[in-house]
Structure 1
Amino acid sequence: MGNRGRIVLLAGFLLAAWNLRPALAGVSPLLTDIMGDLGLTPAAGGAITTVMVLCLGLLGPLAPALSARLGLDRTLLVGLLLLAAGVLVRSSDGLAGLYGGAALAGAAIAVMNVAMPGLVKQHFPARVGVVTGIYVSCLVAGAAVASSAMVPLAREWGWRTAAASAAVLALVGALVWAPQAFRPVSRGGASARRGRYRALLRRRTTWVVTAFMGLQSLTFYVMLAWLPTIFQDAGLSAEKAGYLLGLTNLAQIGATLTVPIHAGRARSQAPHVAAAAVLTMVGYAAVLIAPATLPWLWMIVLGIGQGASIALALLIITLRAPDPASVTALSAVAQSAGYTLAALGPAAIGLIHQFSGGWTVPLLAGLGLCVLQLGFGVRAGYPGPLGSIAGEHAVAEATPSPRSPGP
């Protein structure tokens, strides 16, 4: 593949990464309009996002099945097209379309989430850290842009058009990625896929990586759901609380762009994981102790910790398996369990807040989860034998690939 082909490949991959969050992040800013138009209760409105996040957890295993039949490149194209269809259905009339479209979009994002680390391993094996950092930065930036753009779009064109705008981005991504998707591919059989999963589920590393992925997702979604409310209860205005949440997203972009590059060059990612977890814990503790004192500083610290954590979780998934198919299988297990756990976190913290009458106990619970994240993350960060998930070698040492010129 020539330089032009590599540039188109990278551009299509990063456009796909940009599509991983707008359909999710764009719901919250429109929720008041959606509930008012359709006569939904707050619980029914919140269920739109809940359906999507649950699909991220429950339907991730579709990706290895699709990639075994179609190849990873075509699986990503299918995900982009399904995402566009789901977003359009979700924006149509009726509750069936609203929730059915949300489920379809969530399924598409689940497939794409799982396929992305395998695609990094397949197309950029010598630049795993760099490409992981760029693609996670695109993921975070896509969420931030979508959150900011929805209200102005809805004010001008209505919430349905605003929500449907995410389909345009997905279709552009599909168009750019299509030439890559229609290249000849080799596909593994169903028996090889079953053997890969059996071997994968027997290995301790799989469950350590899965626990780390789940816990960092959980601590992230807890803060995403409740930070504005915590700040408002501490006396800050709703507008300032929203700006502070946006500041956290900006800090995450900086962390996701830089941390995987350095961590991908290291033999062990444990020190990076430990630093990210500690920063997340400092952010939690500061919000607990002094939410209205220097809140901008706490949000920068929290954003760096959380952005680095998600980037490291995805990097470790890519590094710990020996080949693209094995990476996809590990990604399916880790992300399915992780997002299922993450979907339960905000509701659980809300219940603790309701019964405790304040934010002290919920935030202490969040700190406890951060401690668990630290423990499992450090263990996942040490290079060790995941073994051959594909059953081709007795042991495969998970170490970063040597550096070479970029794509």
Structure 2
Amino acid sequence: MQSVPSQAIRPLSLNASLSSSRLPFFSFSLPIFHKFKINPSIYNKSQKVPLFLTLRCCSSGSVTAKPSSELRRNRDVQEPDEKVVALRRLFSKPGIGIDAYIIPSQDAHQSEFIAECYMRRAYISGFTGSAGTAVVTKDKAALWTDGRYFLQAEKQLSSSWILMRAGSLGVPTTSEWLNDVLSPGGRVGIYPFLFSHDAAKELKEAISKKNLELVFLYDLNLVDEIWKESRPKPPNNPIRVHDMKYAGLDVASKLSSFRAELVGTGASAIVISMLDEVAWLLNLRGSDVPHSPVMYAYLIVEVDGAKLFVDNSKVTKEVMDHLKNASVELRPYDSTLSEIKRLAAQGAQLWLDTSSVNAAIVETYKSALDKYCSNHGSKGKIKNKRYDESNGLSEGPSGVYM
């Protein structure tokens, strides 16, 4: 190997005043090499040597960052995941009969950041990032997440799981993977409250290419079945009124403008499921989701009234008076589907934003409306958008109303 002249090495170090005033925790010594040639033979491209980055910390020793290959090395031997095994046992239960189950990150309101009791994907997989989808079949388990969480997922997933780096070259989507690993005629189960209608429809169409069936399990969330008593309780923190000096517009005025839009579409009512939209429209704030001023609730606004579906234990007297002044009625949170059925039984035309309203609500309404139309000898009309005939452009929220 060619020797390096000593004068070619100039150590670069921080002076005492700079290191003590600006960088009190770390000391650096970076040699700068120049004016010499390096023998190429000392670098063997065929050798794969893990790269370790070490910082000398004055207060607590060395901190070492390991590459992802090192994180995976200790998980080559698969160990059975008790939660996944328990989940698979439910696949063959009467009334279920599925070959795969999809667990998304969202709650029933399509929120990315959710209350702990709804973190089903985190519970079943061990991966705690805010975005991701878990899919469990009878012999495989895979998790999809985006580039923000690749390293975190590698560290948190057990050897029973396959990490799918969404968006990376050659990585299949969930539907493509299911089409590949399941036999034709297989049944894929979902809890329809956790999928928007559009997402469920897209999934159904994608897996039908392999003759797979999408199964809605309305009455049972399989993860909740194995979570049982250890599952955190739903949040019940009190709701508060958002002061007018911050809101800027009272609830009655907002609802009046909203109803004018309803009349213009020909709809009888609209279902609002996004938590921030409910909070804004009613000038209410909550703390059900960490770092978000929202509460778990649905809102149905009709031409002549409005109903808020929320856990009554969160409603203070101040909030109750606030809603009463705006002619908003209170209903139990879990009675939303019953109200949807009641409206459909009257032939009500609902405005539903299918990109955000969950599949359980939309399919419940469509099924109940079909029954109404059958009894009255008519057919329900489905519109995907409201159009301005003068220019052919859509206006207002996209959705279906019948």
Q: Same fold (TM over 0.5)?
A: no
Q: Which structure has greater strand proportion?
A: 2
Give the TM-score normalised by the residue count of structure 2: 0.25
Q: RCO higher in 1 or 2 (8 Å CA, sep ≥ 6)?
A: 1
* TM-score where L is the length of structure 1: 0.25
- Computing the radius of gyration from Cα coordinates, the structure with the larger value is 2
